[in-house]
Amino acid sequence: MKRQLHILSPVQLLNNSALFKGHRVKLTVNNVCLTSSNPPILEGECDKYQGMHIDLADGVHEDFSVEKFDLILGDSLCRWKKEGFASVWIRFTLQQGALISVAANHGFVYHHAENKHAVMCQWLDMDSPSRLPQFATHQVGVAGCVVDHESKSVLVIRDKHKRYSLWKFPGGLAELGEDLNQTAVREIYEETGVKSEFHGILAFRQQHDQPSAYGRSDLYFVCYMTPLTFDLKPCLREIEACMWMDLEELESHPQTSAITRRIVKLVKKGLGEGFNDVTFVGQEFQSIYKDLKYVMYHRGIVDDGPLPYVHSILEARRKKTTG
């Protein structure tokens, strides 16, 4: 009598309670994990790109031991792959360094780290190349060209501890959540003690492989400003010197850069013909995202739409002062 051979599928095999009674078994078939039970998994939120986001720093998740996290992360990856998720993101605190090593053993890599948190990610869709976005590719620098119309001079500084001792416009890196105009006003005041008013953007440039940018590219905006005060109170921790310099002298000075000389030409054109043709003015618009606004900088259009951004700033300042 011939015996019949029964071939079980992986799912049938796992569900055969007679074979695996009292045990949890995990199989990987064609890069898809299958388990013989429904173990708990990490809880998170799904984004519109089929990415799962787990925040272990939210105070909701328990304090996992290394052993327990290793087990639950493995089970979670099996479930997410089975359910068709394309990627997974996990946010850790500094105190969870041991768990970061566990995640690395499961195929996670760093995406970014900042202050007290680190984010790791993994692309799960093995049928397509990773589409995970790179972290911030640029840093943003902002300088303020403060123009005294009466004397035809501009405020310049000379940095401390720099390779090149050049006369330049005061400025620095924008902080997170800070608008360009706010950065310009803040940096000018911090470095020179001069209070100033923002009117628009004269020029900007992009540069790659910039030293001391930690591998990021650099965006640099030069803003058109006018002074509200004139007394100089240089911050000697940051700069070596500051002064009001005549435009002609700055343009011909041997210790200036190409971008500074080009800005001088724009300022001279603005003083002679008006700044409307050389300045990008900001206008505030409502974003498509709820409760968010943004500023668009452009020139060449005058309409009855949103007030120019500088006017909004002045109005807010007036209300704060009179209120």
Dihedral sign (CA 55, 110, 114, 223): negative
Rounded to the nearest 5 degrees, what angle is found at the Cα of 188, between the Cα atoms of 182 and 192? 155
Say if residues 102 and 74 touch (Cβ distance below 8 Å). Answer: no
For residues 218 and 136, give the distance between their C-alpha atoms in angstroms, rounded to a whole number: 11
Say if residues 203 and 270 touch (Cβ distance below 8 Å). Answer: no
Q: What share of the chain is helix, strand, coil (3-state, %, to 5)?
A: 30, 30, 40
Q: Which residues of 159-175 are buried (b: 16+ CB within 10 A; e: fewer)?
A: beeeeeebbbbbbbebe
For residues 297 and 58, give the distance between their C-alpha atoms in angstroms, rounded to a whole number: 37
The tokens for 181 are 């105009």
Catalytic (active-site) positions = 190
Return the beta strands (E) in 181-269 as ranges: 196-207, 217-227, 239-246
Q: Could you tell me if residue 161 is left (phi over 0), alpha (psi between -120 and 50 degrees) or otherwise beta?
A: left
For residues 103 and 175, give the distance between their C-alpha atoms in angstroms, rounded to a whole number: 31
